[in-house]
């Protein structure tokens, strides 16, 4: 790790601070420091594109969820982003892991993450995913379709049964991104249609499976606690029906994730404590109404733990002016975040590493590795004197941006660095051409 001394300076142009990690402060020469480390210096040291995670911010957000629901199990949704350091941070902060693939489970195993604190789910798992989960061990496996039951049961090695949960389909209501909420409707088993109860009956008929509860996932970027309160009510009512019909009391419910982050930056979203209060109050009320013993509660924040702790750095390659519009092409872009949520980049991109020499101008930032010039941000206000070699930074970039590498144009996946207490360290090295060549076995 490299230590850096930073002197903060006033900067009236440092806007939307709520979008940045709490440690972000203006630094000399028009720079911004995160975790005590100037961003332009990180671009020089590690190259660009570069994702920067503020370790203290990640840990702080994880602790906020623990405080919000002190009697619940908080499970980090690994699909937001996972590397060995993040596994360690979650374990040290007392969070579990929600994994969706053999690769994520294998990575957790390399760090000795406790198997009983791991949940495996997803709307479809391959036989390899299931075999790996059973071989390495997971606390619970979430069943999202009836066809998985016999397949999973046939693979349980025994002698102890594998604990499972049934994923029930959420309703379509509640504020949030419409496509994401609608997407959640396609997965899970319907209570209204009887599919969920049929799955319960089939699981109860498998001695090697132990049904312990219900799982639900309302969607993504849910900006109100109400969809979670509705899920609580629906799940407790269904669990009471299962108790009355089958004579078993399921001890757990998992409300999934989807908790919103500020998108665009500055948009008010509920704090973990607000979600926690509403969920807790509704759980107490529903259990009293249905005379049901209070179940163990699990939530799965992912984006809300990582997104605001991350900043992405790109270097400007070219600036073009066409038909009265300005376009800035940057290195990377589509290869390091294909189809990812770029809400931070679209609204809060800023120049770091030098002070602008004039007014700003609406500028569209586009991916330099895309022939079509895929828009990454904009139009956003950037200095009129923007030029090749400048470094641009965008906050709210810690989740759903680093993982889905497409390898477009053989540009390679980006590097990921962590900052803390004035020091930086590399978490994930940049993908190289040798990595691509090693995978290309066609000759």
Regarding whether 175 and 47 lie in a shared domain, the answer is no
Among residues 242, 276, 301, the one where a domain terminates is 301
Regarding whether 223 and 99 lie in a shared domain, the answer is yes
The CATH number of whichever domain residue 266 belongs to comes to: 3.20.20.10
Among residues 301, 316, 339, the one where a domain terminates is 301
Regarding whether 118 and 27 lie in a shared domain, the answer is no
Q: Which helix (H) or strand (E) holds 231?
A: helix 226-246
Regarding whether 90 and 133 lie in a shared domain, the answer is yes
Domain membership of residue 106 (yes or no) is: yes
Regarding whether 272 and 384 lie in a shared domain, the answer is no
Q: Is the pLDDT of residue 123 over 50?
A: yes
Regarding whether 228 and 89 lie in a shared domain, the answer is yes
Regarding whether 398 and 280 lie in a shared domain, the answer is no
What pLDDT was estimated at residue 370?
66
Note down the domain range covering 387. 2-54+308-436
What pLDDT was estimated at residue 269?
84
**Model pLDDT for residues 402-419, shown as the tens digit of each residue:** 654 555 667 778 899 999
Q: Is the pLDDT of residue 8 over 60?
A: no
What pLDDT was estimated at residue 403?
54
Mean pLDDT for 319-335 is 86
Strand, helix or coil at 18? helix
Q: How many domains does the chain have?
A: 2
Mean pLDDT for 398-404 is 67
Neighbouring residues of 313: CB distance < 8 A, sequence distance ≥ 6: 39, 42, 43, 48, 49, 50, 51, 52, 352, 391, 392, 393
Strand, helix or coil at 320? strand
* Strand boundaries in 145-241, DSSP class E: 162-167, 209-215
Regarding whether 200 and 111 lie in a shared domain, the answer is yes
Q: What are the Cα distances from residue 400, in Å, to 85, 337, 364, 374?
A: 17, 8, 22, 17
Between 298 and 432, the more confident residue is 298
What pLDDT was estimated at residue 95?
98
Domain membership of residue 442 (yes or no) is: no
Q: Is the pLDDT of residue 184 over 80?
A: no
Domain membership of residue 387 (yes or no) is: yes
What pLDDT was estimated at residue 412?
74
Regarding whether 226 and 118 lie in a shared domain, the answer is yes
Structure confidence at residue 371 as a pLDDT band (50, 70, 90): low
């Amino acid at each position: 790790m490299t230590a850096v001394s930073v002197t903060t300076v006033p900067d009236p142009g440092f806007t939307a601070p709520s979008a940045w990690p709490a440690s972000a402060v203006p630094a000399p020469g028009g720079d911004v420091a995160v975790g005590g480390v100037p961003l332009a210096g990180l671009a020089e040291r590690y190259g660009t594109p570069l994702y920067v995670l503020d370790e203290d911010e990640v840990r702080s957000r994880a602790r906020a969820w623990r405080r919000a629901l002190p009697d619940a199990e908080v499970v980090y949704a690994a699909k937001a982003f996972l590397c060995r350091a993040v596994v360690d941070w979650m374990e040290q902060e007392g969070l579990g892991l929600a994994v969706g693939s053999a690769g994520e489970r294998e990575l957790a195993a390399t760090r000795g993450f406790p198997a009983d604190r791991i949940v495996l789910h997803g709307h479809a798992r391959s036989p390899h995913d299931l075999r790996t989960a059973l071989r390495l061990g997971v606390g619970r496996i979430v069943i999202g379709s009836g066809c998985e039951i016999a397949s999973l049961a046939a693979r349980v090695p025994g002698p102890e049964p594998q604990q499972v949960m049934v994923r029930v389909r959420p309703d379509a209501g509640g504020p949030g991104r419409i496509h994401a909420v609608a997407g959640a409707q396609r997965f899970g088993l319907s209570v209204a249609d009887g599919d969920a109860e049929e799955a319960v009956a089939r699981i109860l008929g498998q001695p090697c499976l132990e049904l312990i509860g219900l799982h639900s996932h309302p969607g993504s970027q849910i900006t109100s606690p109400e969809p979670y309160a509705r899920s609580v009510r629906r799940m407790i009512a269904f669990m009471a029906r299962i108790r009355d019909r089958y004579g078993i009391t399921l001890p757990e419910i998992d409300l999934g994730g989807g908790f919103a982050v500020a998108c665009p930056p500055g948009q008010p979203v509920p704090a973990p404590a607000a979600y926690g209060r509403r969920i807790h109050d509704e759980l107490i009320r529903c259990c009293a109404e249905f005379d049901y013993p209070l179940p163990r509660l699990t939530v799965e924040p992912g984006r809300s733990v990582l997104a605001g702790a991350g900043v992405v750095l790109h270097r400007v390659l070219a600036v073009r002016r066409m038909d009265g519009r300005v376009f800035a092409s940057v290195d990377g872009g589509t290869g390091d975040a294909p189809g990812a949520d770029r809400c931070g980049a679209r609204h809060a991109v800023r120049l770091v590493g030098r002070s602008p020499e004039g007014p700003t101008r609406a500028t569209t930032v586009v991916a330099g590795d895309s022939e079509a010039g895929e828009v990454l941000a904009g139009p956003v206000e950037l200095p009129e004197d923007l030029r090749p070699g400048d470094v641009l930074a965008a906050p709210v970039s810690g989740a759903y941006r680093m993982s889905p590498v497409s390898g477009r144009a053989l540009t390679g996946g980006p590097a990921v660095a962590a900052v803390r207490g004035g020091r930086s360290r590399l978490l994930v090295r940049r993908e190289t051409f040798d990595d691509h060549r090693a995978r290309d076995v066609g000759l």
